[in-house]
Every structure is written in structure tokens, then in C-alpha cells.
Amino acid sequence: MNLFQRYRKYTSVLLFAIFLTGISSLSVFAQNNNVSLYGRVVDEKTKDPLAGAVVHIKGTTHEVVADQNGEFKFITGQRVPVVYIVSFVGYKTREVPINSYGHADIDLQGGNSVLSDVVVVGYGTQRRSDITGSVASVNKNLLSQPAVSFDNLLQGSVPGVAVTQSSGQPGSTATIRVRGGNSINFGNAPLYVIDGFIIYNNNDYVNTGASTGASVNALSTINPSDIESIEILKDASATAIYGSHGANGVVIITTRRGKKGTDEINYSGYFGTQQVTKKLSLLNASQWASLVNDLNVSTGSAKTFSDSAIAALGAGSDWQNSALRKGNVQNHELSIAGGDDRSKYLISGNYFNQDGTILNTGFKRYSARVNYERNVSSRFKVSTNVFGSQSQENSLFGSAYNSINFSGAYPSLLLTSPVAKIKNADGSYNISSPYSTTPTNPLQDITATTNASKLTRVLGTIAGEYKLLKELTLKVSAGADLINTKQNYYAPSYTTNGYSTSGSASIGSATVVTWLNENTLTYDHAFGNTHFLNVLAGYTTQFEKDEFAVASAQKFPNDLTGYNNLSYAGTAVLSTSNGHSSAINSWLGRITYSYLHKYNLTLSERADGSSKLGANNKWGFFPAIGLSWNVDKEGFFEQVRKTVSNLKLRFTAGQTGNSEVPPYSSLATLTPTNYYFSNTLVTGIAPSQLANPNLKWETTTQYDAGFDLGLFNNRVNLVADAYYKKTSDLLLYVPFPLYTGYASELENVGSVENKGFELGLNTDNLRGSSLSWKSTVVFAVNRNKILSLGQGTSSYFPLAPTGQVSPVIVKVGLPVGTFWGYNTKGLLTADDIAKGVPVLAGVSQQAGDQKYVDYNGDGTVTTADKHDLGSSQPKFTFGFSNTLNYKNFDLSFFFQGSYGNRIFNLLQQKLEVTTTTLNASATLLNRWNASTNPNGTFPKAVNAPVPQVIDRYIEDGSYVKLKNITLGYSFSRGLISKIHAKQIRLYVSAQNPIVWTKYTGYDPEVNFYDNDNTKQGIDYGIYPSNKTFLAGLNVTF
């Protein structure tokens, strides 16, 4: 009680002081003679004031914050001697003994303070030195790179986090794997925790099916420049607190907020231009005409083109180039942030606009954020984070990313004959190509088709924290994530997709609401200065509901209204709607204990109950243990301290889960079907899914051992980890004999392992007064292997598109995403035929045809000769980032790469299927021909050959990219103070200016099938990636 009375008095004085500050000038306040303990906090090197630094009098509750000039003062009766504990984010905390009243100059050492930093972990923060698990922070420098979506910023940032862009489409999805994929069928993406709100990113939530083509990225709704820091939790000790969501790693995102003692207005913006990084080599008109003639010869028909006609054709039309342009990208952000002793706030607004490098595509976003927190009293704190955005993506149409069929606006363009004219003399599109199935034009299809997704997202949380006792805090938070999507599609009657239907329109709407309530009790107490105990217990509950509707219509009298008014249409298409709800209830707990900050223990658990699982297995329990030892705190370490400034050993083990199956996966469901009697539609209802009341979690057991090493006064910091993960009870579709009427049932069988090691190296290469240079290297190796697919199954082929052979296999002993096909060995010679070398069974093979390798040596080439042609999983990934400062200049550059991953170049395969109507790859120029090119390396021209999955199309996808290079200049403080600016920085930057790769497609970062884990690294004519050059400005007042 005594304490509270003192606090009350103190509070009222403080309130009075704030009041005074409001009405009188600062200088008046500073002259207050009652102030006997005051001073100034500055940066050790630059001597710049550190506004917002916190000065605490040790052993008391007295704490003040330095103002804009770095100055602080205590209004207290405290008697000297006292000890100030001075701390500031990014600086080493210092204890300063004060023996006399009056002014004290305190300088703080910046930079390598990470070890005493506080790190955000699940449901709280922890001193970095006490952490037992593998927690990596994303380099701040990388966070400031221009990007549509923050998931792209994780690339190469942290060891063990692999990010692959699906395509170059603005706003496209990315595949993110932390320490490899655990699951074969479901949920391999990490969990995101944005200011405490749990988001399992599900791109299906923003894809209604009305619009076509590549999937829209739900994370693109979030403004990356709002992010203050990103922590990635990788091992079980760190992620088990997220239980059933933790198996794939956790990305903890903290957004920016104000600092105490300042009000800062900040503008940052950039403007740039982008272009495609590469173009494919295709046949030109005369080359293609000769090819058609060869095909005519091969089928015994008359040649289509005479020699003079071929010569007259020349280069013909460059369809590829016709749809490309230089696109602009711009981003503008205005924020005001600040705070006082009791409140902190940030208000920000953002506008982002990126024109795609393909006509009629792009991405635009408006967003705003308000973060606010206030200490209502010394015991009670409230806070809120509210974010809203509206974005629009105009994307290329085509078959849906997860569809089993291929079609795409861009591949269609590439496959269009160069002999066909793009435009007529009068500038209109040429629709009378002799090679197209309908009188349409593929370029016009791209420019005239509407294929847009409009996303609105509001993500807000409110939280209250109440100190029940000095050591015991109750925190209750409630949050909601609302995502609204509207998709519009219209193919006018003069486009290929709208031609047969006389205009085809589709609109889709999706509403997804997620509610989360979290209640935690935290007990935090230090027993003397020896035992540090933190106990967390909590109950959380989350509810998710999605609702979808799609309406379509066809046969429009004209193309004036398009998707805006379906009632103009002559034909309705059956509308669809859908909805699901799911819930998760969880009990969580964690004990962290540290003895002298030397020996640290973390015990954590989460019990999750998920509605999506079988009635008999709703609940799962996920425990973890972590131990760490700060060896450098031991007495015996003194001898080596000059070289080894820091050493910590970590060991953790634990289990996490994955239950990312769709709702109702365990129930015996019935599906509607349609039939017609007497020309009238009737509905049939039939079983579609077998019940499995035992459906349960996939469980990942993970072991991790690592060390943190600091050398030479922490100028060199190395973090190394080795891990082993085994995921069992995989959620697999176990095949049934088809005569049962069911193809499969979802069961928990089989297991997958991931093992690997990671290195993160931070070095302070140069630390001069005018020149400094810091580097970060991240390196990770992961090996993935399927251990079992359940009894009786050793392999299966994932669903292939109709008419295609699956290029991938899921097979015990191999990594998920292994390509499966034939080896080839040049071309068959007449000699080979005479000798009777093994040839492909069932096909007539002659000299000049592809020669396949009889892998099993049985004298003929059959599907049994197909074998492992490598995997889409890299052997290792790395990132190398550098920051240099010279006086007012700063330079940063960042390389990122991947080695040993393979890509199935399906587009190239398609471009090498020679027909008399479609264009082909320039590789065809070197086709074998008995008379004209007997040394050709490409098989002879055959009309519409069956494409085979061969080693030729399984390409090396290794690459090194210069992801970003930025040169900046910050104006001197003296110069800009005249306009009352605190900071002005100008910079120029290039993204992806250089890519080193052997891959022949557009970009080795490619994933036609998006997050489908079994079909990674397949390239079917994705949106080409681009390089960006931009200039930007940051101003802070």
C-alpha cells in the first residue's frame, strides 16, 4: 500500500509537470531549481543526443526519458549516491554510479548490444542472453528494401529461411520454408504473428475463383514499411508456445511505434522504373516457316511456304515483346510518431503503386495504421494496433495456380506464330491469324481482359495489461482480422476466352473474419540477483469464418458493362457459394528460469484443440525444453575474454504440430452433382469423402544444438545451429483400390525428416570514425527425405494436368518434390538403329530422334526407365549483405542465392513441341536433318511429338542474385536544422540488377504451383521477373 501511495503522489506530480510543459516553454521547466539529478545521454561516437533513452535509478521505480536534446532530469528526493541504469534500443545498457548531484554526461555505446537486447518471443520478450531457442532477427537494413509484400524481404535474411517468389507478377505469392518443408500435403508456410495477432496466411482466402491465373498474395495487403522488426523462431523451444501452428516456424512481426519524448514526422518515398530481366529466344517468322515446311515433309504433305515466301517473311512479329513495357513503381509514406512518459503513438499512411512489366497488370495499395499505447495508471496499460488497407491487383488471366490444367495469357502469347501479324495497317488488332483457333488476338486478350482482385483488410487488436501484483501481470487482448475480397473478370466477346460465349463475366466475393482472444498471466521475479524466474500461463481462443460467392454469366449483347451488370447477359452460369468455420482453443504455459544469467532453462507447452480434426483427436499437446549456458559468464573464461567475448551453448528439443487441413476434413461428406432429365437440371447427392474420426495432427519432433560466439569484443558474431526434425503422422491421402468407389482417404501415416545446419555471421569489418563497414552472411543447408508413406505405399505420382505425365514423384527415400523422368543421350543415329539400341517403346523411333537411356538395361525404354532427376530443394541457400558508411554516404548491397535446386522447365518443353500452328523455341534452329544439318543436336522436326519428361528440361536452378544495391546520402545535421529537419536522406537503389544463373527460363525463382509442396520448382510460363531502378527520399522532422 505504501508503494501505491508513493506512486500516486509521484503520478500527480508528473501529471502536473506534463501540464506545465503544455503551457510553458521547455526552458522554463529546465530552470526548475528542484531538479538535482539531471544530465544528457549521447551516442558514444557521434555525440548525438539520444532522444528517448531511458534513465532508471537502480533499486527504485524512478525512471525518466531523455528529451529531444538527450536531456533528462529527475524530480525526486532521491539522495546520492545512486546508480543510473541507462538504456536505449540498439545500444548497450550501462550502469552509471552517480555520487554527486547535478549534471551527468552519459554516453552509450551503440552497435553490438544485441546480447543484452530484449528480443520479442512468443507471448512476451526475453533478454537475448537468456534465450535457449533458435531465434533470429531480420537485419534492419533488409527491411527497408522496397517490396510489395514483407514475405519477400525475408529472402536471404536469416539462415534457414528459404523464400521463393512464385512469379514476377506484382503482388504475387511467395513460398516460404523455415528449415525445409515438414508436410507433404498441407501447411508448410510459417505462422505469422503481427503485433501479437496470429495469422496463418491462407491465400485461398483472397482467391474466390472468379478471377483466373496466379494466386493473389494475402500478405500483400500489409504495408511492409510499417514493420519495425521481424524475429523468426525456428526451433521447438521457441515455437512450441505456438503448439499446433509452430511446426513450420514462426515469424514475429512488430510494427513501428512512437518513442518517448519526441514527436517525429517522417516522409519516405521512392519512385522507380522496372523492366523484365530477360527475354526468351523464340523462332522468328522465317525460321518458323522453315520449321513448318520440315513438319510438312515429315508428314508427307506439301510444303506450306515457298523459299521466296520464307525470305519475304523476315523476322515477323515479336509477340513476346509486344506485351512488355517499362513499368513505374512508386511508394509514398507519411507518418507521425511520438510519445511521452505515459503514451506512445504512431499514425501512418501509405500509397504504393506498381505497374506490371506486362500490359494491363499492376498492383496498387492504400493503407493506414494507428498504433497507440497508454499507461492509464502505474498498474494498468492499454494499447491498440489498428491497420487497414485497400489494394488492387490486376493480374494476367490463365488457369488457376492449383488447377490441373494449363493455360495462361503469357504462354499463349509466346506460342503465337511469328508469321501472324500483331496489328493491321490501321492500328487495330489483327484477328485473322491463320494459326489461331478463334478469330482473336492474344495480345488483345491481355489488354482487353479484366482480371482484378480488390482486397480490403482491417487488422486490429486491443489489449489491456494489469499488474495484479508487482510481479504478476494479467494481459487480455482481443483482435480481429477482416479480409474482404472482390474479384472481377470479364473476357469481352472479341477475346479468345469470351469468343465462344459472346462475352464471359465472373464476379467473386470472399469475406473472412478471424477473431482471437488471448489471456495470459505472467509472473516475473528476480530472487536476489541470482534466480530469475518468468512464468507464463494463458488461455487463447480463435475463431475463423469464411464465406465465398461466385456468380458468372455469358452471352452479352455488347461489351459495355462487362462484369458490372450480369443482368445484361443472355446466359447464366450456375452461381456457387461456400462457407466454413473453424475454431482453436489453446492452453499455453512457459517457465523460463535463469541462474545468474549463466544457466538458462525454458520449458514450454501448448495444448491445442482444433475443430478441424477428427472427433477422437481434437486435442494435441506440444511440449518443449531448452537449455542454454553462457559460458562467457564463467570465471575460467576470463583468460580468453580478449579474443572470445561471448560464448553461449544451446540445446533444445520439443514437439510442434500442424493441422492445416481444410475444415470438415474428418467428416463423411456428400457432394452435389448434376444431371438432366427432359432438358431440366436435377441435383444428385453422393458421398465424396470417407469419415475419419481419428484424423489428428502432424507432429514434428525437433532437436537443435547451437552456439552463439562473439569474438574480438563482439566485432565478429557467429550463430550456428544444427537440427534434426522428424514429422510423423503425416496427413496423407492414402490411396484406396478404385473399385471401392473412393480414390483415397485422409489419414495420418508416414513420416518426413529434415536435417541441416545454419550459420549466421555478423562482422564489424571497419569501425573507423568516418568509414565503417558491416557484413552479414547467412548460410543454410537442409536435407529433406521422405521416410515412410504408410504401409504398402512406397511412392505415388501427384496429380498431373490432364494429358500430361506427372514430372514429380513422392517416393520414400527421396526429397519431396523430386523430378522423375528419362535420361537422354543425344540423338539416335542410323548406326544406332541398325545396331538395335534400346528405343522408346510404343513410338516409332528413327535416326534423328531423341535417344533415351535404358536405365534398367532391359533392352527397351519404358516408364520403368524413369528415375530420380534431382529435386527442387536446394543443397544450400545463402545471403550476403553489406553496409558501408563513409561520412554522410551509406552504401549497402545484398547478394542472395541458392545452389543445387532443379527446375522443371515445362514452358521450354511446351515450346519444343513442334506443331504447324504454334511458335517454338530458338533451340529448334539446331534440329537434326539428314541432309542439311546432320550434326544437329536437337531432334528432327516431327509434327506434334509426345512431350516426355527428360533430363533436358530438368534444369539447374542455382543462382546468385544481386538483390539490392543502395547508395544513400544523409545531409549533415547542421545544414538541415535550418529547416527544422532532423534527417534528410536521398538514395538511389537497384533491385535484381544482376542475376547469375544457368537456368534458361525467365527466372530461377519460379513456382507455377505456388505452395503445393509436391510440385515445387515447375515453370510454366510465369509472369517474367523484373529489375527495378529507383530513387528515394527520407525526411524526418
Query: What residues from 804 to 863 belong to the interface with another protein (CB under 8 A)?
Result: 804-805, 841-843, 862-863
At 473, give phi and psi (nearest 5°).
-120, 130
One residue of 23, 639, 677, 769 binding another protein per CB under 8 A: 677
- In angstroms, what is the minimal distance from the CB of 741 to another protein? 2
One residue of 573, 705, 884, 981 binding another protein per CB under 8 A: 573
Other C-beta atoms lying within 10 Å of the C-beta of residue 693: 13
Q: Which is nearer to another protein, 466 or 651 (CB)?
A: 466
Q: Nearest CA to 1014 among 803, 725, 750, 792?
A: 750
Kindly give, in sequence order, each residue whose CB lies less than 8 Å from that of residue 2, ignoring residues fewer than 6 positions away.
none
State how far the Cα of 1029 lies from the Cα of 964, in Å rounded to an integer. Answer: 10
Task: Tell me, rounded to whole angstroms, the distance of Cα 489 from its chain centroid.
Answer: 26
Stretch of residues binding another protein (CB under 8 A), selected from 351-359, 534-542, 821-829, 925-933? 534-542
One residue of 515, 637, 724, 971 binding another protein per CB under 8 A: 515
Beta pairing class for 902-904 and 808-811:
unpaired
Stretch of residues binding another protein (CB under 8 A), selected from 574-582, 593-601, 756-764, 932-940? 574-582
One residue of 575, 926, 932, 977 binding another protein per CB under 8 A: 575
Question: Strand, coil or helix: what is 660?
Answer: coil
At 882, give phi and psi (nearest 5°).
-135, 140
Find the radius of gyration of the CA atoms of the chain: 32
One residue of 370, 583, 649, 981 binding another protein per CB under 8 A: 583
One residue of 31, 99, 529, 680 binding another protein per CB under 8 A: 680
- In angstroms, what is the minimal distance from the CB of 586 to another protein? 10
Site membership for another protein, residue 886 (CB under 8 A): no
- In angstroms, what is the minimal distance from the CB of 283 to another protein? 17
Q: Which is nearer to another protein, 600 or 692 (CB)?
A: 692
State how far the Cα of 624 lies from the Cα of 629, in Å rounded to an integer. Answer: 17
- In angstroms, what is the minimal distance from the CB of 958 to another protein? 30
- In angstroms, what is the minimal distance from the CB of 609 to another protein? 5
Q: Give the CA dihedral 668, 669, 674, 677, nearest 10 degrees.
A: 50
State how far the Cα of 667 lies from the Cα of 681, in Å rounded to an integer. Answer: 28
How many chain residues are in contact with another protein, going by CB under 8 A?
A: 106
- In angstroms, what is the minimal distance from the CB of 21 to another protein? 23
Q: Which is nearer to another protein, 683 or 931 (CB)?
A: 683
What DSSP state is assigned to residue 906?
A: H
DSSP codes of every residue in 788-805: E-STT-SEEPPPPPTTS-
Enumerate residues 682-701 that contact another protein by CB under 8 A.
682-688, 690-691
Stretch of residues binding another protein (CB under 8 A), selected from 592-600, 733-741, 820-828, 896-904? 733-741
Enumerate residues 974-1033 that contact another protein by CB under 8 A.
none
Q: Nearest CA to 1001 among 279, 78, 329, 89?
A: 279
Please check whether residue 776 is in contact with residue 799, taking contact to mean a CB–CB distance below 8 angstroms. Answer: no
What long-range pairs does 967-971 form, CB within 8 A, spacing at least 24? 967/889, 967/890, 967/891, 968/889, 968/890, 968/891, 969/888, 969/889, 969/890, 970/888, 970/890, 971/888
Helix (H) or strand (E) holding 54: strand 54-57
Q: Which is nearer to another protein, 90 or 439 (CB)?
A: 439
State how far the Cα of 251 lies from the Cα of 268, in Å rounded to an integer. Answer: 25
What residue has cell string 491498440? 384
Q: Which is nearer to another protein, 4 or 996 (CB)?
A: 4
Site string for another protein, 468-497 (x = CB under 8 A): ------x-x-x-------------------
State how far the Cα of 461 lies from the Cα of 37, in Å rounded to an integer. Answer: 39
Q: Which is nearer to another protein, 38 or 123 (CB)?
A: 123
End-to-end CA distance of the chain: 44
Q: Label residue 291 left, alpha or beta by phi (over 0 means left) and psi (-120 to 50 means alpha).
A: alpha
One residue of 425, 528, 529, 681 binding another protein per CB under 8 A: 681
State how far the Cα of 566 lies from the Cα of 234, in Å rounded to an integer. Answer: 49
Site string for another protein, 942-981 (x = CB under 8 A): -xxxxxx---------------------------------
One residue of 379, 633, 785, 867 binding another protein per CB under 8 A: 379
What DSSP state is assigned to residue 771?
A: E
- In angstroms, what is the minimal distance from the CB of 471 to another protein? 16
Q: Which is nearer to another protein, 436 or 905 (CB)?
A: 436
One residue of 644, 913, 967, 988 binding another protein per CB under 8 A: 913
State how far the Cα of 134 lies from the Cα of 532, in Å rounded to an integer. Answer: 20
- In angstroms, what is the minimal distance from the CB of 462 to another protein? 10
Site membership for another protein, residue 736 (CB under 8 A): yes
Cell numbers standing for residue 615 = 472427433
Other C-beta atoms lying within 10 Å of the C-beta of residue 260: 19
Site membership for another protein, residue 309 (CB under 8 A): no
Enumerate residues 618-637 that contact another protein by CB under 8 A.
618
Q: Report the sign of the C-alpha dihedral through residues 731, 733, 735, 740, in that order.
A: positive
Enumerate residues 924-943 that contact another protein by CB under 8 A.
943
Enumerate residues 635-664 that contact another protein by CB under 8 A.
663-664
Site membership for another protein, residue 402 (CB under 8 A): no
Enumerate residues 144-163 that contact another protein by CB under 8 A.
none
Enumerate residues 420-439 that contact another protein by CB under 8 A.
434-439
What residue has cell string 499463349? 412
One residue of 137, 416, 534, 610 binding another protein per CB under 8 A: 610
- In angstroms, what is the minimal distance from the CB of 204 to another protein? 14
Q: Nearest CA to 134 among 615, 896, 719, 973?
A: 719
Site membership for another protein, residue 500 (CB under 8 A): yes
- In angstroms, what is the minimal distance from the CB of 273 to another protein? 39
Strand partners, 328: 273
Site membership for another protein, residue 380 (CB under 8 A): yes
Site string for another protein, 51-90 (x = CB under 8 A): ----------------------------------------
Enumerate residues 195-234 that contact another protein by CB under 8 A.
none
Q: Which is nearer to another protein, 88 or 904 (CB)?
A: 904
Q: Which is nearer to another protein, 624 or 749 (CB)?
A: 749
Question: Strand, coil or helix: what is 340?
Answer: coil
Q: Which is nearer to another protein, 190 or 479 (CB)?
A: 479
Site membership for another protein, residue 567 (CB under 8 A): no
- In angstroms, what is the minimal distance from the CB of 808 to another protein? 15
Q: Which is nearer to another protein, 87 or 582 (CB)?
A: 582
Q: Nearest CA to 529 among 602, 631, 632, 633?
A: 633
- In angstroms, what is the minimal distance from the CB of 702 to another protein? 26
Kindly give, in sequence order, each residue whose CB lies less than 8 Å from that of residue 689, ignoring residues fewer than 6 positions away.
665, 667, 668, 669, 671, 745, 746
Site membership for another protein, residue 568 (CB under 8 A): no
Stretch of residues binding another protein (CB under 8 A), selected from 331-339, 358-366, 376-384, 483-491? 376-384
- In angstroms, what is the minimal distance from the CB of 171 to another protein? 28
Beta pairing class for 744-748 and 54-57:
unpaired
State how far the Cα of 938 lies from the Cα of 929, in Å rounded to an integer. Answer: 9
State how far the Cα of 190 lies from the Cα of 198, in Å rounded to an integer. Answer: 11
Site membership for another protein, residue 376 (CB under 8 A): yes
